[in-house]
A and B are shown apart, each in its own frame.
Chain A
Amino acid sequence: MNLKTFPGGVHPHDFKHFSKNSPIVELPLPERVVIPLSQHIGAPSNPVVKVGDEVLTGQLIAEPGGFVSIPQHATLSGKVTKIDIFPHPVGTSQMAIEITSDGQDKWIELTDDADYLNLSADEMKERIKNAGICGMGGAGFPTHVKLSPPADKPIDTVILNGVECEPFLTSDYRLMLQRSEDILKGLKIIMKVLGAKQGFIGIEANKPDAIEIMEKLTANEANISVVGLKLRYPQGAEKQLIYAATKRRVPNKGGLPMAVKVVVQNVGTAVAIYEAVRYQKPLIDRIIAVTGSIVARPSNLKARIGTPYAKLVEFCGGLTGEAGKIISGGPMMGFAIPNLEAPMTKGSSGLVLFDKKEAHILQEQTCLRCGRCVDVCPLNLFPSLIAQAVKVKDFETADKAGMTDCMKCGSCAYVCPSHIRLVQWIDTGKIKWAEIQRSKK
């Protein structure tokens, strides 16, 4: 197969061996779930239940807070026991709804439209919106918004992201092996909603069996094909995936994929879309990889949104060593969190545990000007210059060097021999720069 890729990037060891051969297992119902009101990009959802209310699995518990927002649903049946500040998997504390299970898992009524592909695009979009789906690759952008491009921005290509370039993570991989047909159904729905004429499924070369399965499945599809991609991080970043598959360059300075007539969706999102359109099933569970060298039984779990991380680790047999770092998400872009109290959300693709040795703190040293960060930056930015400018509070220079374009993939910090926390500096600069821009208005 002719493998495609993008310029720049790095080659971290993939560490997928811990959990890649563990089939998806359904986690037993937890006693309680904590459902954050902000699991997505955009306005937080507004609760429509109050403490003491009885809810069914799949019942609406919070409405979208605006157009760029999503509704939230109860992920098990029981009683609303708290609406308060809870730990959030990005490391902060945020408003969430706690539901204590009644152990029954009583569902709302689901439908089954076997003829779902003949629904109108608007009806499909409505069902997707009502299901509370946001991007499940990690970014969490509300899916119905992505599927509603302005009339003057037609979409001709849909790309499903099955790249999973983050080391350790295997949830999308297992999904592609075990629910390949549903992924394809999801893709067809997305293409219909957008009126796109071609669809791609991007998969990295370290998942040859996933490529094979998806290729077999799409062999008779005239306008859908699998794109094999070279093993390189961040191959799964939206702009890099689009470039590899179509050679189109999404414009910088806040440009969106629709500018080049493309929409990208994660494979997990595609399955959620299929279930939402056919069964009107809200997004209440997802696959999450719980992995790392100290996890007794690294696993791919199908678990309810809001399940506390501690429950997942417990189900995997606990830890065989002392944890040095807890990472919510993948090790390149995920968040290090202080404990396992936070719940998993719609964007939680993995929980990675490092032992004491793997969790090192590297001391920052002077920049040698070696230029490795420039060599690897997939967006062709000048990370060392941006970081240096931010350090001396020269945000103008940082902006000119492309600060706001940075997607925080971490390739620069990964290769820096001086261990400079480039991503952190750039991110700090972005926040300060935004504050300055706001105060000017």
Chain B
Amino acid sequence: MENKVIVSPAPHLHDRTSVPWVMWQVVIALLPALAAAVYFFGWQALYLTLLGAFSAVATEALIQKLRKVPITIMDGSAFLTGLLVAYNINAGAPWWFPVMGAVFAIAVGKQVFGGLGHNPVNPALLGRAFLLASWPTLTTAGWIKTKLGSINGISTDLLQADLAQVAPKAYALVTSATPLNVLKTLRDTTFVQSLTPNLTESYGIANNVYQQLCSMDTLRNLFWGNIGGSLGEVSVIALLLGAAYLIYLNIIEWRIPFFYILTVFVLTILFGGVSGLDANYFALPFVSIFSGGLMLGAFYMATDYTTSPITKTGRIIFAIGCGLLTVVIRKVGGFPEGVCYSILLMNVATPLIDRFTIPKPFGEVKK
């Protein structure tokens, strides 16, 4: 026994997990959504995504160099943040848009607090919130059509041939807004009443739009991703595929996405309708959970390790809180979509939730 052996504390075995392994697996899980984005929006989706990811990595490297700490860009966490920022961007955005978002996400969302593991809120969502606050129109309007020609699953043919003449506002809505935007706009009674000079006709058109939004055709488009929206969030099936992979690998836990989506689903059944209009109530909750950033947010952002609760009960409370806030923002808030802000708000509540949900040790004596 001439050679030196390692003397270290038990356990002497370790499973395959490491920080880089976890981060790169999440990146892999997000690839189907990127493929869907390229399919529906063209190569510019890939271009914007790579810009976001690499500017995040470059920002991390630069700041770590300035902070004189080890450069950890190979752990995949900055790449993942940049990827998620880009996924939250309209495919028609200019090249500097994901760059601004990613630089802000890494610099202000992560490195300011000390880097990985120390950030209070999800950096990618903070990046998106920053873009939304700074360039609101670039973030929430000007959606580009998918290559298959849809933006919200509603075909103008299904309404009436001369819609553009009869109700130009309705025509504009149907041809330029995402499903959540349509919903939000239909809730505005002054808008509905101003569609045509005739009140009954106005409500007829609005109702027609609403019914088309809650149709099986729209649901199908939402499911595959043939819809306008942020480039990484549109395809439900692609996001679910990646999520199944992550749950299988035990990288994310089912509680947060399940209770988040369930809460939105249930609250939409209870309170999601548009007053004064009538539609297929069976489809509405599905439209609600399939549209906007909910799938992307619930599976990939609300589950962020650092900013979500550690305890199991805490995760359920966190998820229900996210769902509640999302529905409240969608229904009565100023924005059509509430996923981003709801997760950011619950991120801030995470330390408190953890503190009140410390698990009871096995065999705790009842007092």
Residues of A within 8 A of B (CB): 7, 10, 12, 91, 167, 239, 243, 249-253, 255, 310, 322-327, 331-340, 352, 354, 359-362, 365-372, 374-375, 378-382, 384-385, 400-402, 405, 408, 410, 413-419, 421, 423-424, 427
Contacts and interface: CB of A to CB of B under 8 A. Distances in A.
Interface stretch (B176-184, B216-224, B230-238, B304-312): B304-312
Given A334-B12, A340-B1, A253 B365 contact: yes
B22 A371 contact: no
Contacts of A378: 362
Contacts of A375: 253, 312
Identify whether the interface residues of A are mostly helix, strand, loop, or mixed.
loop
Contact of A379 (B1, B307, B362): B362
A336 B363 contact: no
A258 B102 CA distance: 59
B168 interface: no
B10 A334 contact: yes
Nearest to B365: A251
B15 A12 contact: yes
A391 to B, nearest CB: 13
B310 A374 contact: yes
B32 interface: no
Q: Residue among B8, B10, B311 with the most chain A CB within 10 A?
A: B10
B360 interface: yes
A428 to B, nearest CB: 10
Given A251-B364, A336-B5, A366-B117, 12 more contacts: A12-B13, A252-B365, A323-B3, A324-B6, A327-B12, A359-B12, A368-B117, A369-B310, A385-B358, A401-B358, A417-B22, A423-B9
A374 B354 CA distance: 12
A385 B117 CA distance: 14
19 contacts: A10-B15, A252-B363, A252-B364, A255-B363, A323-B1, A325-B12, A333-B10, A336-B7, A361-B8, A368-B22, A369-B306, A369-B310, A370-B305, A371-B310, A372-B17, A374-B310, A379-B361, A380-B362, A417-B17
B18 interface: yes
B10 A374 contact: no
Contacts of A322: 3
Interface string B200-237: 00000000000000000000000000000000000000
Interface in B1-56: 1, 3, 5-15, 17-19, 21-22
Contacts of A255: 363, 365
Contacts, number: 157
B242 to A, nearest CB: 18
Interface in B318-367: 358-365
A414 B15 contact: yes
Contacts of B17: 372, 415-417
Q: Residue among A323, A333, A370, A416 with the most chain B CB within 10 A?
A: A370
A368 B365 contact: no
Nearest to B306: A369
A325 B9 CA distance: 11
A380 B313 CA distance: 13
A196 B204 CA distance: 81
A418 B365 CA distance: 33
B118 interface: yes
Contacts of A380: 359-362
A331 B11 contact: yes
Contacts of B12: 325, 327, 331-332, 334, 336, 352, 354, 359
Contact of B363 (A249, A339, A365): A249
Interface string B83-117: 00000000000000000000000000000000111
B8 A252 contact: no
A339 B13 contact: no
A325 B47 CA distance: 49
A351 to B, nearest CB: 13
A24 to B, nearest CB: 25
Interface in B107-141: 115-118
A169 B311 CA distance: 33
A369 B362 contact: no
